[in-house]
Amino acid sequence: MQSEFAIQLKWAPKHRDDAARWATAHILRHKFWIVVMIVGATGNAAGAALMPLFIGQAFNAVVNQPINYTLIGTAAIGIVLSQVVRAVLQLGRNFSSEVIGQRMERDTRHELYASLIGKSMAFHDQQSVGDVMARATNDVREVNLMLNPGINLVVGSLMFLIMPILIAPTMYPALILVPLVFAIVYFILLQRFLNQLKPATESVRRQFGGMNATLAEAIEGIETVKGAAQEEQAIEKFEVGAKSYRDAYVAQGHIEARFLPLLWLGIIQAVGLAHSLFLYQQGLIDVGQVVAFNGLLQLFGFPTFQTSFAYPQIASGISSARRILDLINMQSDLDENTAGYAEPMQGAIQFEHVTFKYRSEAPVLDDVSFAVKPGQTVAVVGQTGSGKTSIIKLLNRIYEASEGRVTIDGVDVRHWQMAALRKQISIIEQDLFLFSRTVAENIKFGRPEATQDQVEAAAKAAQAHDFILNFSDGYNTVVGERGVTLSGGQRQRLALARALLVDPKILILDDATSAIDSATEDQIQQAIYTAARGRTTILITHRLSQIRWADVIIVMKQGRIAAVGTHDELLETSLAYQRIFAR
């Protein structure tokens, strides 16, 4: 399967085209525990079937005079011993199914997470984070519940269906008729029930994903919601999603409420009683066998009542597995190209008649051509939406050019090994992301093996060392997600330190100093100037102080290059450049 990054899993199912086959492949990995579960289920059902047989013997011992107390005692001991063994076997059944379920959930999470990490940004841009999270959490959990209690109860129920069919004819051959008819009609009704249940469970899982997506969107954009005083609107939108989820669940409940095997159970028990009494009147069976046979028919209560819960759980699990596989099977646009070019980078960049558009939309870049020599500093300027950021997204293959080609050191970026390409390019964006980890861990994210001295050296170069030491725990201070406990300038300096620690051959700053206040601007400018030495640097900025010392300035306008030159040259020759600074 094509992906930007692929991790070699210890095990993964060969077939991912069908949810049931995929789930079965996961389950069959645990053959020992499957045997334990089946043995436990068989022993549990057999123990339950012995109970009415012993009770029937006790009835005969009482009815036939004189009373046979020895037989009654034997029956009582048999009941106790059989139920003790039954309890142990049932424990083994439940324990084994829990082991399989938990391992299946673990393996599914690993498989899905590895797949998501490996997919391209083009894939993730089209996905709702909330829906992805719903699949990665709740749907994966449903896969576990599909096995335990779902399949666990179904296996147990199957044994409870089989026991009366096997044991009843040992008392009198004609007694097999009622259990056999019950089982045949039961499976016919069950198939009808499952056909109705499948679309209902799929709707429930889909509506849950939609509701979760709405919630995640509101939480992610909470600052915007509150800033516009739109809390009520956000609540109303969530209530619409919650109502759709509720309605889907209620619709599933209506189907479950019409579980016809419950009605069929009552009918068959009445028919079984009449049949056994008829045989008794004919002198073909005795009182104890009547009691034992009707006790055996009571075993049908377990599969009937439990499967009305177990099969919806299995159907929900299969629907969840299908949603998980939909994500796993979605193809990425890019391939990691493990056999590609992976030499140390010099930093020469060239765009050759590059056109780029997102999906089928109008081109964001149109016939863009320019060249950057190793070690040069290039400033890319232009109005919002002119295509500046798209240039850097093509450079490290976050996206791929629709036409033309982008080369680094004369090698098409498509021919580079993805990991080698991206490890030698660092991008600092305006919308920075810091993890909920310590300051030191955030700085060495791209180079986990870095020493504390190297971390501090990078922080000093980024003018971040002093403010880090002012934190209560210094470099061990934990910052919140996205660095919400830091100011904009502090976040950007930490991001710069993270980039410098990696020591990239190409450094890209995408409006990365937008949140820097005037008091620290000179320090940051000096840090950037120092960082640019010896490496190719691309600045996407509107700050004149940065643009002036660029070796080359590229002016973008509506996806095309309007002008190329130095600051002084462009002030004289480029009307577009003059208008940028006139504002």
77-82 long-range CB contacts below 8 Å, 24 or more apart? 78/50, 78/54, 79/50, 79/51, 79/54, 79/55, 82/47, 82/50, 82/51, 82/54
Q: How many domains does the chain have?
A: 2
Residues spanned by the domain of 431: 349-582
- For residue 2, being part of any structural domain is answered with no
Chain centroid, CA 338 distance in Å: 25
Are residue 314 and residue 224 in the same domain, yes or no?
yes
In this structure, is residue 493 part of a structural domain?
yes
- The answer as to whether 339 is a domain residue is no
Is position 30 within any domain? yes
397 shares its domain with 311 = no
**H or E stretch at 118:** helix 69-118
Are 298 and 355 members of one domain?
A: no
With a CB cutoff of 8 Å and minimum separation 6, the contacts of 223 are none
- Find out whether 497 and 531 touch, Cβ atoms under 8 Å: no
Q: pLDDT of the chain along its 583 residues, tens only?
A: 555 566 667 777 777 888 889 999 999 999 999 999 999 999 999 999 999 999 999 998 988 878 888 999 999 999 999 999 999 999 999 999 999 999 999 999 988 888 888 777 777 777 888 888 888 888 999 999 999 899 999 999 999 999 999 999 999 999 999 999 999 999 999 899 888 888 998 899 889 888 888 888 888 777 777 777 888 888 888 899 899 999 998 999 898 888 888 889 999 999 999 999 999 999 999 999 999 999 999 999 999 888 788 888 888 899 899 989 988 888 766 777 888 898 999 999 999 999 998 776 788 899 999 999 999 999 998 888 888 888 988 998 888 888 999 999 999 999 998 888 988 898 887 767 788 888 999 999 888 899 999 999 989 888 889 889 988 889 998 886 555 668 777 888 888 888 888 888 999 888 766 555 566 666 667 777 777 778 899 988 877 777 877 889 999 988 999 999 888 888 888 888 887 776 5
CATH number (domain holding residue 509): 3.40.50.300
**Nearest one of 102, 85, 89 to 36, comparing CA atoms:** 89
In the 8-state DSSP scheme, what is residue 4?
Answer: S
Q: Are 549 and 419 in the same domain?
A: yes
Q: How far is 162 from 164, CA to CA, in rounded Å?
A: 6
- Tell me: do 324 and 414 sit in the same domain: no
Domain-located, residue 338: no
Same domain, 383 and 276: no
Any domain includes 380? yes
Q: How far is CA 59 from the centre of its chain?
A: 58
Question: What is the token pair recorded at 464?
Answer: 């971040």
C-alpha to C-alpha distances, 512 to 47, 205, 442, 536, nearest whole angstrom? 72, 41, 17, 16
If phi > 0 it is left, if psi is from -120 to 50 it is alpha, else beta; for residue 367 that is left
Distances from the Cα of 31 to the Cα of 51, 89, 94, 316, angstroms: 31, 17, 15, 24
| 390 and 325 assigned to the same domain | no
> Domain for residue 343, yes or no?
no
Kindly state whether residues 95 and 182 are assigned to the same domain. yes
Do 313 and 460 lie in a common domain?
Answer: no
- CA dist 379 and 397 (Å) reads 20
Same domain, 291 and 365: no
Q: What is the DSSP letter of 360?
A: T
Of 277, 279, 288, whose CA–CA distance to 54 is shortest?
288
What distance, in Å, lies between the first and last C-alpha atoms of the chain? 50
Residues 510 and 378 in one domain: yes
Q: Check residue 380 and report its DSSP letter.
A: E
Together in a domain, 164 and 252? yes
Q: For residue 561, tell me if it sits in a domain.
A: yes
- CATH code, domain carrying 143: 1.20.1560.10
3-state SS class at 342: coil
